[in-house]
């Protein structure tokens, strides 16, 4: 198939001091079986060697942008998306990587089904033990996904591909630091049909740096989300019971970590 007939995919990579694993992430993009992509690399005031590593890859598809000031993750993502010229958008963080058929398999489904959103299962890679496991063992939801996602949220942003036009009228909520993608995809599922590729197409790296600090932010943001959205979803006849239970578990985990650290 001539390249002119292949839709362009914009890969969004937001980076703040991501040098440690950056080479592996970029290599997984360069090794894709689908070649018509651009990398929108948004350097969020890095002070390490991220830029040097990135620019060591001599590829015209790589496009470098740098923030004037340090930004929240979701503001940086929104700004990076504005630079994208592709028909579709995917997200790859500097510590994660993709299977070589990720872009090819997903763009094929989007073009064939004429839908706007596809996601997949993915592996969790334990950086300490160097082992991987499939993140979700059960069949992941297709099509009418909202209640399933509220019961057990299972979309990793590293696994999605979404039509760029969605971002013409929707943005990530910039007040969040951790759950902005959860908020975005849950609300998008009310309007769009989601298709899932059940096989893992990406690798999420687990390295628990500053985990005790992040879990406090995590449960605080879920509390904010529940306070803001509970009535809306109840009126639409969705149950948030499982999400509330998850929030309580997060709070207990944080409190346990806090007490343990004070000893």
Give the SS3 label for residue 15: strand
* Chain segment 81-138, per-residue pLDDT in tens: 999 999 999 999 999 999 999 999 999 999 999 999 999 999 999 999 999 999 999 8
Residue-range domain boundaries for the chain? 3-206, 211-262
> Model pTM?
0.94
Q: Is the pLDDT of residue 18 over 70?
A: yes
Residue 22: enclosing H or E segment and its boundaries? helix 19-30
Indicate the pLDDT class of residue 1, thresholds 50, 70 and 90: very low
> Residues 57-76: pLDDT tens digits?
999 999 999 999 999 999 99
Cα(87)–Cα(100) distance, integer angstroms: 20
The residue-averaged pLDDT of 15-42 equals: 97
Query: Where in the chain does DSSP place strands (E)?
Result: 9-15, 37-43, 62-66, 88-91, 97-98, 117-126, 131-134, 161-163, 194-206
Question: In terms of C-beta distances under 8 Å and separation of at least 24 residues, what long-range contacts does 100-103 make, across chains too?
Answer: 100/28, 100/31, 100/32, 100/33, 101/32, 101/33, 101/201, 102/32, 102/201, 102/202, 103/9, 103/32, 103/33, 103/34, 103/37, 103/161
Distance CA 228, CA 241 (A): 15
Q: State the average pLDDT for the chain.
A: 93
H or E element at residue 138: none
As beta bridge partners, residue 204 has: 124
Q: Above pLDDT 70, what percent of the chain?
A: 94
* Whole-number pLDDT of residue 110: 97
Confidence of residue 20 (pLDDT cuts 50, 70, 90): very high
Tell me the fold of 3-206. Answer: Spore Coat Polysaccharide Biosynthesis Protein SpsA; Chain A (3.90.550)
């Amino acid at each position: 198939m001539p390249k002119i007939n292949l839709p362009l995919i914009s890969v969004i990579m937001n980076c703040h001091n991501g040098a440690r694993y950056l080479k592996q992430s970029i290599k997984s993009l360069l090794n894709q079986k689908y070649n018509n992509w651009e990398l929108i690399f948004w350097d969020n005031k890095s002070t390490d060697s991220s830029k040097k590593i990135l620019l060591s890859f001599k590829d015209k598809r790589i496009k470098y942008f740098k923030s004037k000031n340090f930004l929240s993750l979701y503001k940086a993502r929104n700004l990076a998306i504005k630079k994208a010229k592709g028909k579709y958008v995917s997200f790859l963080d500097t510590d994660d990587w993709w299977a070589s058929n990720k872009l090819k398999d997903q763009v094929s489904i989007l073009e064939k089904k004429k839908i706007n959103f596809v996601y997949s299962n993915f592996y969790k890679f334990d950086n300490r033990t160097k082992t991987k496991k499939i993140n979700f063992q059960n069949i992941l939801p297709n099509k009418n996904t909202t209640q399933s996602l509220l019961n057990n949220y299972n979309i990793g942003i590293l696994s999605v591909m979404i039509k760029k036009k969605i971002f013409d009228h929707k943005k990530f909520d910039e007040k969040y630091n951790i759950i902005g993608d959860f908020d975005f995809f849950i609300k998008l599922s009310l309007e769009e049909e989601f298709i899932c590729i059940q096989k893992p197409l990406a690798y999420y790296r687990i390295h628990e740096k500053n985990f005790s600090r992040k879990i406090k932010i995590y449960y605080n943001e879920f509390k904010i989300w529940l306070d803001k959205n509970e009535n809306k979803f109840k009126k639409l006849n969705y149950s948030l019971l499982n999400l509330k239970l998850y929030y309580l578990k997060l709070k207990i985990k944080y409190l346990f970590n806090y007490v343990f650290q004070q000893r």
